Amino acid sequence: MKLTDVEIEQLLTVPKTVINPRARKKLQNGSEQTNYDLICENGMSFRLYVRQNTRIPNGFSCGLYYITLAGESITLARYNGSDHAHSNPLEGTAPFFMACHIHRATQRYMEAGRKADHYAETTTRYSDLTGALKEILSDCKIDGLTQVDSPTPPIPIDEPQNKLF
């Protein structure tokens, strides 16, 4: 399934409501995981996932995907931590290293046969999972999560993030 940028924008910004705000957080395979089911007024289904790596403080992610009537899922946006680098091959720009970044689904990458949410841009709008979740809730007009997911432990001060080479 392919989406146009207009459709992606509509899906990203249509108001959505969390239908299981008390979803249980589970610890699985070394990460804390919570999945929220969302619907919008016309009945379309979405899912918001929240992940925190238990070994890497800056290894976190929260993402939104759209679930089609056929059960196919397409990630529309993903707000990642700074534990890894990222490349946008169609732009041909140099990879960016160890910076928080936001993935967005794009028509261009889908048409190129790439994963829908391949494209990403760096951001300084958040530095931990709590901040990332706050931003995705706001950007994607997600309502119904009154209690923000438990905050991420801050990066230990004895853990310098200096790049050596």
Partner 1 sequence: MNATIESLRDNLCAAFCRDVAVVQRASDFAVSLPIVGRDGDHLTAYISDQTAGWRVSDMGATLMRLSYENDLSKLLTGARKKLFLAVLQEAGLTEVDGEIFIEVPADALSKGLFALGQGATRVEDLGLWTRTRVENTFNDDLRSVLLDIVGVDGFIEGYEVPGISSSENYPVDFYVKTPDIPLYVFGVQHRDKARLTTIILQHLSANNQKFNSMVVYSDVDDIPKIDAKRLMNAANDAVASINDSAVIRSKIAHRLTI
The residue (of 117 and 135) whose beta carbon lies closer to partner 1 is: 117
Q: Is 30 in the site for partner 1 (CB under 8 A)?
A: yes
CA 19 to CA 37: how far, in whole Å?
Answer: 6
What minimum distance in Å lies between the beta carbon of 50 and partner 1? Answer: 10
How far from 82 is each of 79, 90, 111, 113, 162, CA to CA, in Å?
10, 22, 28, 26, 13
- # of chain residues touching partner 1 (CB under 8 A): 45
Residue 53 binding partner 1, by CB under 8 A? yes
User: Of the candidates 55, 92, 93, 124, which one interacts with partner 1 according to CB under 8 A?
Assistant: 55
Stretch of 12-20, 54-62, 133-141, 144-152 contacting partner 1, by CB under 8 A: 54-62
The residue from 17, 45, 73, 107 that contacts partner 1 (CB under 8 A) is 73
Q: What is the DSSP string of 90-142?
A: TTTPPPBPS--EEEE--HHHHHTTS-TT--EEE--S-SSHHHHHHHHHHHTTE
Tell me the two tokens of residue 127.
């530095």
User: Minimal distance in Å, beta carbon 160 to partner 1?
Assistant: 6
Which one of residues 85, 112, 143, 154 is an interface residue with partner 1 (CB under 8 A)?
85
Cα 81 off chain centre by: 9
- 103 touches partner 1 by CB under 8 A: yes
Q: Is the separation of the CB atoms in 97 and 82 below 8 Å? A: no
Contacts of 44 (CB under 8 A, 6+ apart): 11, 14, 66
Residues of this chain that bind partner 1 (CB under 8 A): 28-31, 33, 49, 51, 53-56, 59, 61, 63, 65, 73, 75, 78, 80, 83-89, 95, 97-98, 103, 114-115, 117-120, 156, 158-165
